[in-house]
């Protein structure tokens, strides 16, 4: 039994699926250390991490939603809504404004979740409606770019904790929190079960609708937080363009991390690695003066490879 | 005709097949038997190209073959009905039946009208009358299985393989199946027949191969092989040991009226109604009682069970647990009140395929196995260990994905899931479906034991014998209504059949 030999191709695939992202990130890091000048500079590292942090935060919510066989296309618009709300309520101070923005994200998530869980609308349709509607709302609230000078908010965007940018610390903490939620809480286990087989979960007495609703709320709140952090870093609220296409980056991160779109499995740390991989990839290609189109092509190849690897698991 | 030589197949952690040889001849029905996890389904999947063997070879029509995919095998004339119905649930019955050979009109467009007509004609030949336009999933398991059978036979096959084809069939449909098998035999087609129902084997099979732990324990003609001997071969125990009653089923002295002394029933369903499905069904189960639901397919037995746990939206009716009304339409409320349903369709409604055995067992009991929303691994491990041992679940480890288990072991995992919540009422829809003789006896003994401890059980089974031996009282359903009740000495197979038929004649006329 110990010497059970699986066909080696399949074993490689299984391995690639488990650790592929980590390996790819490692290879890319190594490549950069060797061939990219100034790569090891602290400043460079900080920039990369600060840039990727909002994507990571959004991806955490996305991973949860995808784990239920859903998808959340509204995250970019929710970021914009959060930016708009922060600008509007900044007069009351940074913290109340942050709170209002998070509530905004929760409300949007509730709307999407209710449509999916209680009305039975397809997730892609429900959140597509929100993608359009919420962006519109954000633009109505704050029609153009608004700069601000609130010191608290600026500090949130640019200060550091022991040399690590606060944004990055927040993303890291949320990652650990999400990993804990998925692995160790009833909620997390129920999310995975519902994604794996909804009918069975229902018959097993799981509060399927409530859990689904909550999943979208979490995604909305995380997106809102990402919106506030991005706004804080920009030192300006820009609802017209903030978060555009971030849903695609987030979905990419989740998929590249090995979470199957068919649900029933959520890989939190790998999702973060997926986000890092894509970030590192575009940074590397830019540093080596390759055109943007190259980045896109390489990204496409990676996505296909990841989807292929996850697909294999379902069939034996 | 089709021959396996020294086939081996390993999965991580298990040797599923170890040097298995089996030869099939034209016009013979070959029984393949063995305990759960013995390797029957795996052998079949090797035949049909789903799995590639690690060793050995397949000979088909005199020359070695290796099918790359199930489709290759099908093209070569090997047709299979898998243990888990393997059709497309969302597609119409007709599409499922005709998939891949739909009648085409001009321009190569599918001629739907012709397809529906043809499908209706084929199914009528199997005694199935249904609206072939409906999505397959809206039909009961039995009808689905008949569709799978019709499909498998309609393909011009030389070898037809059936992995537990009767597990959700009614006696009447089993008859139909047997006559189909008879026809296949006359046409010189070889049939492989896997079943845990020994009566059936003796009725249709010519030869038998017994698998035990992935090896051939016996192969030879079935006639003259004593039933107990066959069981002992399967279980790997002495004949004497088997004889001395290791195989009693429901052991209790049954059918004594329970003293109810005014206590409310453990569960009482009143006037369950749903258009076209249920017409005012009343059911009560007292603690410690096993109530059987009898009736033909489509009589509303599974629907009644689903309605009780709130998984079927109702037009009218309510459910009381220990005298208190249950919130309607909420499985969560039902489970919290201790009402558990072991569903009929284990693949679609039971297992969470990608999750481990452990997580599948713990699923329903999660709230009680956690503190402040955080699950307790220690508690889960304990529960899982207890039930894996008690039900003798055969898995490489508790962390193995449940989809890798054999069919019977998956069924046991589901039973464990429900026992883990310490239910007050257990609704069992075909509880012994697909589990082997040994395990079946164990499950039945377990049901007995639980009933003794005061659990109320509602038992649905298409196996009349099981119903008669297991139930204290039987309600006969027909077309969504209770048409008869049998208790005491009236609980016999004949009386049940009579009750179904008699009412049938009445309402037909
Ligand atoms: N895809 C798989 N991966 C790993 N192990 C598997 C896989 N499929 C089957 N097995 C293992 O192989 C063994 C044989 O399983 P198989 O399904 O052939 O049993 P079976 O005889 O059909 O049993 P049953 O009567 O319960 O249907 C079991 O121990 C099972 O856990
Ligand atoms: Mg099997």
> Rounded to whole angstroms, how far apart are CA atoms B51 and B7?
11
Higher pLDDT, A224 or B471: A224
A132-170 pLDDT, tens digit per residue, is: 999 999 999 999 999 998 999 999 999 998 889 999 999
CA of A197: which chain B residue's CA is closest?
A: B352
Q: Name residue, tokens 């059709």.
A: B87
Higher pLDDT, B103 or A80: A80
DSSP B91: S
- Return the SS3 of B195: coil
Beta strand spans in A84-196 (E): 146-147, 160-161, 164-165
Q: Is B348 on the interface with A (CB under 8 A)?
A: yes
DSSP B484: E
Alpha-carbon dihedral angle through residues B299, B97, A315, B17, given to the nearest 10 degrees: 80
Ligand sitting nearest the alpha carbon of B196: 1
Q: Is B353 on the interface with A (CB under 8 A)?
A: yes
Nearest-CA residue for atom 2 of ligand 1:
B404
Domain boundaries, chain A: 44-246
Whole-model pTM: value is 0.84
* Chain B residues with beta carbon closer than 8 angstroms to that of A197: 348-349, 351-353
Contact flag A205-B332 (C-beta cutoff 8 Å): yes
Ligand 2 geometric centre to CA of B344 (Å): 16
Ligand 2 geometric centre to CA of B82 (Å): 8
A194-224 pLDDT, tens digit per residue, is: 999 999 999 999 999 999 999 999 999 999 9
> Rounded to whole angstroms, how far apart are CA atoms B81 and B151?
9
If you count residue pairs, one on A and one on B, with CB atoms under 8 Å apart, how many are there?
A: 88
Q: CB of A312 within 8 A of CB of A262?
A: no
The two structure tokens encoding residue A296 = 């896109």
B3-30 pLDDT, tens digit per residue, is: 999 999 998 878 999 999 999 999 999 9
Tell me phi and psi for residue A258, to 5 degrees.
95, 10
> Rounded to whole angstroms, how far apart are CA atoms B180 and A108?
58
Q: CB of A73 within 8 A of CB of A128?
A: yes
Q: What is the pLDDT along chain A (316 residues), one digit of tens a residue?
A: 333 344 556 667 777 777 888 988 999 899 888 888 887 788 888 888 999 999 999 999 999 999 999 999 999 999 999 999 999 999 999 999 999 999 999 999 999 999 999 999 999 999 999 999 999 999 999 999 999 989 999 999 999 988 899 999 999 999 999 999 999 999 999 999 999 999 999 999 999 999 999 999 999 999 999 999 999 999 999 999 999 999 999 999 999 998 888 888 999 999 999 999 999 988 888 888 888 888 888 888 888 888 777 765 443 3
- Cα B62–chain centre separation: 36
Interface test with B, best of A186, A204, A263, A264 (most B CBs within 10 A): A204
- Return the SS3 of B249: coil
Q: Is B334 on the interface with A (CB under 8 A)?
A: yes
Say which of B52, B341, B366 has its CB closest to residue A203. Answer: B341
CA of A314: which chain B residue's CA is closest?
A: B354
Is the C-beta atom of B438 inside 6 A of ligand 1?
no
pLDDT reported for residue A309: 74
The two structure tokens encoding residue B464 = 């009349």
> Rounded to whole angstroms, how far apart are CA atoms B256 and A129?
62
Say which of B54, B331, B373 has its CB closest to residue A203. Answer: B331
Contact flag A265-B373 (C-beta cutoff 8 Å): no
Contact flag B363-A201 (C-beta cutoff 8 Å): yes
Residue B289 burial (10 A CB sphere; 0-12, 13-18, 19+): buried
Average pLDDT over residues B391-417: 91
Q: Which domains does chain B carry? A: 2-90+135-245 (3.40.50.300), 263-508 (3.40.50.300)
Residue B311 burial (10 A CB sphere; 0-12, 13-18, 19+): buried
* Chain B residues with beta carbon closer than 8 angstroms to that of A189: 359, 362-363, 366, 375
- Cα A245–chain centre separation: 12
The two structure tokens encoding residue B177 = 């199946």
Is the C-beta atom of B213 inside 6 A of ligand 1?
no
């Amino acid at each position: 039994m110990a010497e059970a030999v699986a066909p080696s191709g399949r074993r490689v695939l299984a391995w690639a699926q488990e650790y592929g992202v980590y390996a790819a990130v490692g290879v890319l890091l190594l490549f950069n250390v060797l061939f990219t000048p100034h790569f090891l500079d602290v400043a460079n590292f900080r920039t990369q991490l600060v840039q990727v942090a909002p994507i990571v935060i959004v991806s955490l919510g996305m991973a949860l939603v995808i784990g239920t066989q859903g998808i959340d296309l509204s995250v970019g618009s929710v970021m914009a809504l959060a930016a708009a709300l922060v600008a509007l309520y900044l007069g009351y101070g940074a913290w109340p404004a942050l709170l209002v923005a998070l509530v905004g994200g929760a409300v949007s998530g509730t709307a999407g979740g209710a449509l999916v869980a209680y009305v039975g609308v397809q997730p892609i349709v429900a959140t597509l409606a929100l993608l359009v509607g919420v962006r519109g709302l954000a633009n109505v609230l704050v029609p153009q770019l608004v700069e601000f000078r609130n010191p608290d908010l600026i500090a949130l965007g640019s200060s550091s904790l022991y040399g690590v940018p606060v944004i990055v610390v927040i993303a890291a903490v949320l990652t650990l929190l999400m990993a804990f939620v998925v692995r160790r809480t009833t909620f997390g286990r129920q999310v995975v079960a519902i994604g794996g087989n909804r009918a069975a979960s229902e018959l097993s007495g799981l509060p399927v609708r409530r859990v689904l609703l909550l999943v979208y709320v979490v995604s909305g709140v995380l997106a809102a937080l990402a919106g506030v952090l991005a706004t804080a870093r920009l030192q300006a609220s820009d609802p017209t363009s903030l978060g555009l296409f971030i849903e695609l980056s987030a979905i990419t991160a989740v998929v590249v991390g090995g979470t199957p779109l068919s649900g029933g499995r959520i890989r939190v740390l790998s999702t973060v690695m997926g986000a890092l991989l894509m970030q590192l990839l575009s940074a590397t290609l830019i540093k080596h003066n390759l055109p943007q189109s190259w980045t896109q092509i390489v990204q496409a190849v990676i996505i296909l490879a990841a989807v292929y690897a996850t697909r294999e698991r379902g069939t034996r | 005709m089709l021959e396996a030589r020294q086939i081996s197949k390993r999965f991580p952690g298990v040797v599923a097949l170890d040097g298995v040889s089996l030869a099939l001849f034209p016009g013979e029905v070959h029984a393949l038997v063995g305990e759960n996890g013995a390797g029957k389904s795996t052998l079949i999947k090797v035949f049909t190209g789903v799995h590639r063997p690690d060793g050995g070879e397949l000979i088909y029509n005199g020359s070695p073959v290796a099918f790359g995919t199930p489709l290759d095998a099908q093209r070569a004339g090997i047709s299979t009905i898998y243990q888990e119905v393997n059709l497309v649930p969302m597609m119409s019955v007709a599409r499922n039946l005709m998939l891949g050979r739909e009648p085409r009109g001009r321009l190569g467009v599918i001629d739907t009208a012709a397809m529906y007509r043809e499908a209706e004609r084929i199914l009528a030949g199997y005694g199935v009358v249904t609206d072939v336009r409906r999505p397959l999933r809206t039909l009961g398991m039995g009808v689905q299985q008949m569709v799978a059978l019709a499909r498998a036979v309609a393909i011009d096959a030389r070898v037809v393989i059936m992995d537990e084809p009767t597990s959700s069939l009614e006696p009447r449909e089993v008859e139909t199946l047997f006559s189909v098998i008879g026809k296949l035999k006359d046409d010189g087609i070889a049939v492989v027949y896997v079943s845990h129902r020994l009566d059936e084997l003796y009725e249709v099979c010519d030869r038998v191969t017994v698998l035990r732990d992935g090896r051939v324990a016996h192969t030879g003609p079935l006639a003259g092989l004593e039933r107990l001997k066959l069981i002992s071969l399967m279980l790997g125990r002495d004949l004497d040991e088997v004889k001395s009653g290791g195989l009693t089923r429901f052991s209790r002295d049954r059918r004594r009226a329970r003293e109810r002394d005014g206590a409310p029933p453990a569960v009482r369903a009143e006037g369950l109604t749903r258009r076209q499905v249920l017409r005012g069904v009343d059911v009560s189960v007292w603690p410690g009682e096993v109530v059987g639901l009898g009736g033909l397919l489509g009589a509303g037995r599974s629907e009644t069970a689903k309605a009780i746990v709130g998984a079927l939206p109702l037009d009218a009716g309510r459910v009381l647990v220990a005298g208190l009304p249950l919130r309607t339409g909420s499985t969560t409320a039902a489970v919290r009140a201790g009402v558990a349903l072991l569903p009929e369709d284990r693949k679609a409604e039971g297992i969470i395929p990608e999750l481990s055995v452990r997580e599948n067992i713990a699923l329903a009991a999660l709230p009680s196995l956690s503190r402040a929303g955080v699950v307790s691994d220690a508690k889960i491990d304990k529960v899982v260990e207890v039930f894996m041992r008690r039900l003798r679940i055969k898995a490489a480890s508790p962390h193995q994905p449940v989809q890798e288990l054999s069919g019977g072991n998956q069924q046991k995992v589901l039973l464990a899931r429900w026992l883990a919540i310490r239910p007050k009422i257990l609704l069992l829809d075909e509880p012994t479906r697909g589990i082997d003789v040994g395990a079946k006896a164990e499950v039945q003994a377990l049901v007995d034991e639980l009933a003794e401890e005061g659990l109320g059980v509602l038992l649905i089974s298409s196996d009349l014998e099981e119903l008669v031996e297991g139930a204290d009282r039987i309600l006969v359903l027909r077309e969504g209504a209770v048409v008869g009740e049998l208790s005491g000495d009236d609980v016999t197979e004949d009386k049940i059949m009579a009750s179904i038929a008699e009412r049938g004649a009445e309402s037909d006329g």
